[in-house]
Chain A
């Protein structure tokens, strides 16, 4: 049972470079999410996808784009990295078909630690 798999685990970028963070889940979940975690700020939602084919902005979307490639995969792209995007990024998924929405909890990946210099 892999759950939610994120790649890469670590990355160092130079300012202005681009990269894509990959996320895949094998639990047949409908919804997927990208969060960033910064000291003292908890987790903040960047983008989410309530279902295959849809994406929506979260609390801190600026500087990011996402693609829900299929039901399993949800990628996060930084087009021009900035030092302010240095953070730990978590992907999560939730919502099995037929599961009442109020019972949704999230399953998280192990994170990508990104440093922009």
Chain B
């Protein structure tokens, strides 16, 4: 069965600092991987996705993620955090049959 593990339920950074949110996956087949962001009292919004091809994927709001097959990882990064990045972030893997399995989420806190 495919699954994702997000390390750290909360991550705190200062404004302007590097953001690193970790995601490791388990999959018996080539995975399709996604990052979603959820702002307070809103639904989830797609940040970026990896399907095939280039392993470094760029998304919205300056975020990017790198697919590393050898490490079974798909970590999300942003060079410089902004206050508006404070939200909850979810990693997800496509299990096939059009279903996504989500990680438990990481709440990003950004301090001035």
Neighbouring B residues of A31 by C-beta, 8 Å: 98
Choose from A42, A50, A105 the contact partner of B90 (Cβ within 8 Å): A42
- Which label, helix, strand, loop or mixed, suits the secondary structure of the B interface? loop
Q: Report if A108-B102 is in contact (Cβ < 8 Å); known contacts: A102-B94, A103-B51.
A: no
Nearest chain A residue, comparing its CB with the CB of B45: A108
Q: Which of B34, B43, B98 contacts A90 (CB 8 A)?
A: B43
Are B46 and A105 interface neighbours, CB within 8 A? yes
Q: Does B28 sit within 8 A of A, measured CB to CB?
A: no
Q: Which residues of chain A are near B102, meaning CB under 8 Å?
A: 35, 42-44
A95 to chain B, nearest CB (A): 6
Q: Mark B75-107, 1 if CB is under 8 A from A, else 0.
A: 000000000000000100010111111111100
A13 at the interface (CB under 8 A from B): no
Name the one of A43, A101, A111 contacting B98, with C-beta atoms under 8 angstroms.
A101
Check B99 against A45 for contact (C-beta < 8 Å). yes
Residues of A within 8 Å of B, CB-based: how many?
Answer: 28
Query: For residues 19 through 62 of chain A, which have their beta carbon under 8 Å from a beta carbon of chain B?
Result: 31, 33, 35, 40-45, 48, 50, 58
* Identity of the chain A residue whose Cβ is nearest the Cβ of B97 in the assembled complex: A50
Check if A110 is an interface residue, CB within 8 A of chain B. Answer: yes
B104 near A41 with CB under 8 A, answer: yes
Shortest CB–CB separation between residue B43 and chain A, in angstroms?
Answer: 4
Task: Give the residue of A4, A40, A104 whose beta carbon is less than 8 angstroms from that of B104.
Answer: A40
Binding site for A on B (CB under 8 A): 9, 32, 34, 36, 41-46, 49, 51-52, 90, 94, 96-105
8 A-B pairs within 8 Å (CB atoms) are namely A42-B104, A92-B43, A104-B94, A105-B34, A106-B100, A108-B36, A108-B45, A110-B42
